[in-house]
Amino acid sequence: MLGRIGFATVAMLGLAVPASAQDADIAAGKAYAEQVCAQCHAVQAGEDLSPAEGATPFQEVANTPGMTEYALSVWLQSSHPTMPNIVLEQDEMRNVIAYIRSLDSRL
C-alpha cells in the first residue's frame, strides 16, 4: 500500500499533469471503472470488499485524507507491481477520478 509519503514522493517527481475535474463525466467514469477496475476493486459506493486481495475499495480510496484528484492522477500514471499498468486516456482518467472523488462520503 502506497502511503501518503509515497504519493508525495511521486508528486515531487513531477510526473503527472493533474487531471482537471472540469468537464469530467462521472457516469462515464463509473462505466469505465465497472469495465476495467472492477475485476480487482470494489467500485460501487458502499462496497467494502474488493475481488482482488489488497485492492482498496474505491469508497475507501475516496475517503482517504489526501487522496485528491492530483494524488489519484499521479497514482494512475505511475506503475505499481501489484496493479497492471493500465494506460488511461486523459479523458478516461479524468472521468474515473471524478467518479472516485464522487464516492467521498465526507462530502
Which residues form the interface with ligand HEC (CB under 6 A)?
A: 1-2, 33, 36-37, 39-41, 52, 54-56, 61, 64, 72, 75-76, 80, 82-84, 86, 96
CA 36 to chain CA centroid, Å, is: 12
Q: Phi-psi category of 57—alpha, beta or left, where left has phi over 0 and alpha has psi -120 to 50?
A: beta
> Which grid coordinates belong to 23?
468537464
Of 89, 62, 78, nearest to 9 (Cα)? 78
**Do 16 and 89 touch, CB atoms closer than 8 A?**
no
| In the complex, least distance from residue 86 CB atom to ligand HEC, rounded to whole angstroms | 5
Nearer residue to ligand HEC within complex by CB, 19 or 61: 61
Task: Tell me how far, at minimum, the Cβ of 23 lies from ligand HEC, in Å.
Answer: 18
CB of residue 80 to ligand HEC, shortest distance in Å: 5
* Closest to ligand HEC by CB, 28 or 40: 40
CA geometry: angle at 68 spanning 18 and 42, to 5°? Answer: 110
Q: How far is the CB of 25 from ligand HEC (least distance, A)?
A: 15
